[in-house]
Chain A
Amino acid sequence: MDKKYGVYICTGCGIGDVLDMEDLVDVPDEEGINCTTHACLCGKEGAALIQKDVDDGKVNALVIGACSRRVNFDVFKYDNCIVERVNLREGVVWPHSREKYPALTEDQKDDEEHFDQIQMKAEDYLKMGMIRVEKVELPVPFKTETFSKKILVLGGGITGISAALDAAKIGFEVTIVEKQAKLGGYAANMRSQMPVVEPFEELIPTVIDEKLAEIAQYPNIQVKTATEVARIAGQPGEFTVTFKTPGQKIPFDVPFPLPEEMTMDEKGDELDAETLHAKYLEFNEGKNDILQLDPEGELYGAVILAAGWRTDTLEGDAYTHLGLDLPDVITNDEFEKIAAKGKILRPSDGKEAKSVVFIQSPGKDEDDADFPYCGSVTSQVALKQAKYVRNDYADGKAYIIYQHMRTPGLQENFYKSMQQDNGIFMTKGAVTQVSKNGDDLTVEASNTLLGDAIDIKADLVVVSAGMVPVTVDDPIINLAYRQGPGFRDNDIFGGYADSNYICFPYETQRTGVYAAGAIRRAMTIEESMEDATGAALKAIQCIESADRGVAVHPRSGDMTYPDFFFQRCTQCKRCTVECPFGALDDDEKGTPKINPTRCRRCGTCMGACPERIISFADYSIDSIGSQIKAIGVPSEDDYDEPPYRILALVCENDAYPALDMVGMNRIDYSPDVRLIPVRCLGSVNSIWIKDALAQGMDGVILIGCKHGDDYQCHFMKGSELAEVRANKMGDALASLALEEERVRFEEIAIDEYDKLPGLLSDFVEEIEGLGPNPFKGF
């Protein structure tokens, strides 16, 4: 691309009033770049002015000094052009006022005592914008060698069937894989399901039969029962899938990474790479390497993970008081199976169970916790099963002892109707003992609404076992990825196939694999069906995005992808290991293999690479590094007391918009801070920090998203890795004789914008306490 540069500066929204426009225009003028100013660039006239220059072929690399890139992005959009938005409004003139930082008089301009902090910031930002358009390239979309638009659905229960139907209705080819001999899943073994229509008072037959009949009408749905996935290799758009009969051992079974205890020697030290590899090969003997594609494999574009749940096994000391070994103490799952067969008869002697106690939490007197993996669904199941007792026996009595009764949405109406039933008895309480009493059982409970200690006689006791997502036991998806066949660090999601339940539903930690139904959260049939639609749409979005060569999520539409300069790769594998999404594989030598359609374009690999060989077309070590170098660092040669210079590398997802809000709210912070938005803190390479300090900047602050159990990082691991890397900077700084306090890591959520000015001021104050960087002026 032959770049033709042009700078456009808007003087509206206070920019022209606060800044010395002549001085600002001098910046591009000195570089010989044409600069145009206008009172309202985003207005009709202003936009037409730029558009005309683009249409006339005068510019294709534009620097627009106006508002934040987070607004008017639809106005300043030009095909086949590189556009850089310089944030003069939210970033410069809005947070910093002339009342606080008066403009310089003509005399002051030339002395060595006075300087204009606002003008300095604006000029730095303009320079940074200009260098960026020089350093970046227009991206070219990635195309896979082969491409399939078929959707693979793992699991033939209500969720899988619904997802398959939804995708098939839009016209996609779908394959449902079910381990069992027939479709239907758990729903096919139930007596009834919760009501789905007004007045939400009566149970209804499950909809599964209807759905099964519907499947037969779609020739584009292929069903593979008694089948499981041996491995899914490749990447979205070209997943190569090997099927097998459950239990079978085949060469294309996915290899597993070494268990942690096997990666160490007797002393507990890490084994060297070669031994590790040998052990890995031994561990996976008879299995083909992940990079070897199955020639017989079938090609799919995306995967819907609807493998569902299993009932929890309740055992151990915590439950001994519940009498789980007694024949008439059963789980809700066993109860459902009895109910599906006919009247509720108890297992021990076949007697009619007319007095049934449903226990919703372990009780004792420890806390009010429910059984693991219990929630609103198990609450509703208890209500439903209590209804069975009442439907079967006019004189039946059903007791529900709960710590939490959760009936979301309109199911509250079902709860209310159950409350109205004279034979339903509900109380909050802790069950302290279940014991045999003659032919019957006695349930003892404390802390109930009826008093401190009550006994209930029961024919049958039903314990609420939770719905455990099958991903707790097994990788299920069997991905032929170097990071392993399943989801990594899935414990923080309780084993559910999830990445961020609130922000990114259906997204798992693996691009192209979309979870729905009870594998994502315990769900009712109705909820699972709705969830299936969401996952089906995500799968389609993924296929269509991959087909166009753009990112699907969360940088939807991003055409860039990591590019490796392999000549300099040292095969350290850091990129492969640190990628939060397992997008990179490596060969036996350790050379990374990029799978662009798996990639979410966070740049974590770029931040990880010690050789700095990874870059994106519009985002690279050089582009950001050059921006940093463009920041003016005044020294004592320039002023008697030169201002400090602080670099802030700011996550564009939460922290950068929060800083815009600071500007919108006209809250001042130190104008000596220079912000550079980054895709994710994970993409921050330590060379940027070193360079900044080496050129005399006084401190570097990294502002990213929260990490940990309730992380808010859009790329899951990015901010966490950034903190680790920032902490490791200490030694490097020490070798430069710099204090480690000069580099700080901070977390901020988008709604905490009000904390930012204080946070920045604190840091600046601390740096001022340390004194100026001794490298200033070298």
Chain B
Amino acid sequence: MSEKYLVQPDLAYIDELEGLGADTLKKCFQCATCSVACPIAPEDSPFPRKEMIAASWGLKDKLQCSGDIWLCHECGDCSDLCPRGARPGDVLSAIRYSAIKEYSQPKFLANAVEDPKKLPLLIAIPGLWFALLAFITMTAGETMTKIFHTIGIEWSHGGHGIAQANFFSTWFVDLTFIPLSICVAVVFGLSLKRFVIDIHENAVAEGKTDKKTIDIKALLQALVSIIPVVLKHDKFNECEANQDRATAHMMVLYSFIGLAVVTGIFCVVLYVFHIPGPYSQLNPVKWLGNISGAALVIGSLLMIKNRLAKKDQVSAYKDWYILGVVLSLGLTGLLTEMTRLAGYAEVTYFLYWLHLIAIFNLFAFLPFSKMAHLVYRTTAMAYAEYGNRK
């Protein structure tokens, strides 16, 4: 079958997983109830039984690069049915987070995102940065206009009345977030390259694929083919215990898509047609933005409620961090708009500042937070499709 495998338990890895909410992992006695219970486990070497023994043996090398850990959608059926209370669902969640940390560079950022003590820093850095840029926008408008005129560009996009651009230059926003996005994309790109190579090697070694090499074109085709699955949450819904969670998760996913579309349109309109915001409430783009914002808030609140209600699931800092970021992103966005419409200039500017901090946290730390599952899970699902994981 497979090749000989040298077992090298890593005691620190077991400690790490235990710290990430998998404190029960050693309870597993390998009855495989979990693999039987799992509605989406493949028939050939199904998870999570093999992941459980690998975790309790501290086999970091086997788990970090396993594509299977990403195929799990954490419905918790396995944890509910585990006769020993080993909670395989939470163990897989911890393994995934550890894998995210492993693949994302630079390491210090990954460590900072994982550490609750570093949270003030993660807020303070963008906070100060945006405060500085806001200060420049508010106090040095004329100087900036002159500087921009020398290169033939209009500095201000702000109209009259209350507009966020008057508080915080659109240029600054984009000059912050566009390079940041590029960095994030590069980080993801590098991580994914390693990731795909690793999960392929792992799949070959454990006989989970019929492919010998990676064919990029076929992999991309597989990616395209699984996008409808992701959008429709087909896999997510196969986990029966997940049905209530699926709604919330879908709301958040679609609101992000909606907001991305709105931001895209806004950019094009601004830079190509030179029409700045804010748009009228009658504008369909605005409708989409508003609906998405509301969906984001409701979706993330539902997720928080679900987590609080689920007593048998362990929620670690990694979970609360990302839920906090998403909720504050939505809330500050909506409140910024409402206070703007209400005419509270100072309040709306302050909220906008908070909103920017939240966006920064989401964007900059995307490869390091739990949110990175968006990329890794999609990739792993694409690979599973490509590699004929059955």
Contacts and interface: CB of A to CB of B under 8 A. Distances in A.
Interface in A434-466: 444, 449-457
Contacts of A451: 2, 5, 50, 206
B3 A449 contact: no
Contacts of B56: 419, 425
B57 interface: yes
Interface string A375-396: 0000000000000000000010
Contacts of B59: 450
A679 interface: no
Nearest to B3: A453
Contact of B6 (A421, A422, A449, A457): A457
A395 B1 contact: no
Interface string B50-69: 10011011110000000000
B131 interface: no
B367 to A, nearest CB: 29
B29 interface: yes
Interface stretch (B9-17, B89-97, B265-273, B299-307): B9-17
Contacts of B8: 457
A397 interface: yes
Nearest to A452: B1
B4 A454 contact: yes
Nearest to B6: A455
B7 interface: yes
Interface residues of A, number: 20
Contacts of B233: none
B9 A421 contact: no
A266 B21 CA distance: 79
Contact of B14 (A419, A422, A452): A422
B53 A450 contact: yes
A501 B195 CA distance: 60
B263 interface: no
B27 interface: yes
A524 interface: no
Given A427-B53, A450-B53, A450-B57, A455 B11 contact: no
A423 interface: yes
Interface in B19-64: 26-27, 29-30, 50, 53-54, 56-59
Contacts of A457: 6, 8
A146 interface: no
B15 A454 contact: no
B5 A454 contact: yes
B243 to A, nearest CB: 33
A425 B1 contact: no
A454 B1 contact: no
Contact of B7 (A419, A452, A454): A454
Contacts of B30: 449
A450 B7 contact: yes
A446 B18 CA distance: 29
A420 interface: yes
B7 A456 contact: yes
B4 A419 contact: no
A421 B26 contact: yes
B386 to A, nearest CB: 23
Given A449-B53, A450-B53, A451-B206, A419 B6 contact: no
A420 B29 CA distance: 11
Nearest to A397: B9
B7 A420 contact: no
Contacts of A416: 27
Interface string A395-420: 10100000000000000000010011
B5 A455 contact: yes
Interface centre among B7, B26, B30, B53 (most CB of A within 10 A): B7
Contact of B54 (A397, A420, A421, A450): A450
Given A419-B26, A420-B26, A421-B26, A453 B2 contact: yes
A420 B28 CA distance: 9
A423 B6 CA distance: 17
B288 to A, nearest CB: 51
Contact of A422 (B1, B15, B29, B206): B15
Contact of B4 (A425, A427, A455): A455
A395 B26 contact: no
Nearest to A456: B7
A421 B56 CA distance: 9
Given A427-B53, A450-B53, A420 B27 contact: yes
A387 to B, nearest CB: 15
Nearest to A416: B27
Given A419-B27, A419-B29, A450-B57, A397 B5 contact: no
Interface string A690-715: 00000000000000000000000000
B354 to A, nearest CB: 42
Interface in A470-495: none
Interface in A15-68: none
A422 B9 CA distance: 10
A395 B11 contact: yes
B2 A452 contact: yes
B44 to A, nearest CB: 13
Contact of A397 (B11, B27, B206): B11
Contacts of A450: 5, 7, 50, 53-54, 57, 59
A512 B282 CA distance: 105
B6 A454 contact: yes
Interface string A288-302: 000000000000000
A455 B5 CA distance: 6
A453 B4 contact: yes
Contacts of A397: 9, 11
A397 B14 CA distance: 13
Interface string A617-654: 00000000000000000000000000000000000000
B31 to A, nearest CB: 11
Contacts of A452: 1-2
A422 B26 contact: yes
Given A427-B53, A450-B53, A455 B7 contact: yes
Contacts of A444: 4
A416 B28 CA distance: 10
Contacts of A449: 30, 53
A575 B3 CA distance: 66
A395 B58 CA distance: 13
Contacts of B3: 453
Contacts of A427: 53
Contacts of A423: 9, 11
Nearest to B18: A422
A419 B9 CA distance: 15
A454 to B, nearest CB: 5
A427 B29 CA distance: 9
Output the residue of A419, A420, A449 with the most chain B CB within 10 A: A449
A450 B54 CA distance: 7
Contacts of A395: 11
A436 to B, nearest CB: 16
A420 B26 CA distance: 5
A79 to B, nearest CB: 60
A425 B11 contact: no
Nearest to A445: B7
A362 B15 CA distance: 33
Given A452-B1, A453-B3, A456-B6, 13 more contacts: A395-B11, A397-B9, A422-B58, A423-B9, A425-B56, A427-B53, A444-B4, A450-B54, A453-B2, A453-B4, A454-B7, A456-B7, A457-B6
Top 6 A-B residue pairs of the complex, sorted by shortest distance between their CB atoms: A453-B4, A422-B14, A455-B6, A420-B26, A452-B1, A449-B53
Interface of A: 395, 397, 416, 419-423, 425, 427, 444, 449-457
27 contacts: A397-B9, A416-B27, A419-B26, A419-B27, A419-B29, A422-B11, A422-B15, A422-B26, A423-B11, A425-B7, A425-B9, A425-B57, A444-B4, A449-B30, A450-B5, A450-B53, A450-B57, A450-B59, A453-B2, A453-B4, A454-B4, A454-B5, A454-B7, A455-B7, A456-B6, A456-B7, A457-B6
